[in-house]
């Protein structure tokens, strides 16, 4: 139902392979897809330079779509049936994408500020003890 998608299933799988291979964010991957003919050829899509993909969330949307269609238990059964020898000697791992939230990146100024806050709280505690 609804409008036909601009990307075929092959293009979507190609994008997910590129994302895993490059480690790019969704925005970076879309920028490279718009400007790099090799990325387009790998996915089997041709993006006209005059009308590039502007929805940077398309990568997350595709990933969510694939996850909703993926039956992980059937995948594990297929992997187990085709790789009995491998599974006996190695570990088979399936990946689930996780995103950290409320994550901050330390900078010199943040570390300096936090150390000053820590020192001021320690000195306030010492002042209370001595008084």
d(C-alpha 112, C-alpha 109), whole Å: 5
- Look at 127 and 78; give whichever has higher pLDDT: 78
The yes-or-no verdict on residue 66 having pLDDT over 60 is yes
In angstroms, how far is the first alpha carbon of the chain from the final one? 74
pTM equals 0.54
| The pLDDT value given to residue 30 | 93
**Can you tell me whether residue 92 is helix, strand or coil?**
coil
The pair phi, psi for residue 35, each rounded to 5°, is: -110, -5
| The pLDDT value given to residue 82 | 72
Q: Which of 97, 30, 107 is nearest to 63 (CA)?
A: 97
Average pLDDT, the chain: 80
Range name among 13-27, 66-80, 94-108, 109-123 with the lowest pLDDT average:
94-108
């Amino acid at each position: 139902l609804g409008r036909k998608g601009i990307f075929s299933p092959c293009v979507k799988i190609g994008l997910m392979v590129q994302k895993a291979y490059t480690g790019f964010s969704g925005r970076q991957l879309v920028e490279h897809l718009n400007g790099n003919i090799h990325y387009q050829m790998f996915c089997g899509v041709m993006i006209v330079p005059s009308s590039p993909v502007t929805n940077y969330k398309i990568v997350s949307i595709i990933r969510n779509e694939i996850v909703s269609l993926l039956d992980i238990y059937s995948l594990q059964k297929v992997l187990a049936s085709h790789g009995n020898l491998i599974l006996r000697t190695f570990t088979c791992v399936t990946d689930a994408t996780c995103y950290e939230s409320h994550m901050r990146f330390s900078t010199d100024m943040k570390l300096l500020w936090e150390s000053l806050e820590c020192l001021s709280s320690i000195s306030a505690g010492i002042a209370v003890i001595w008084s």
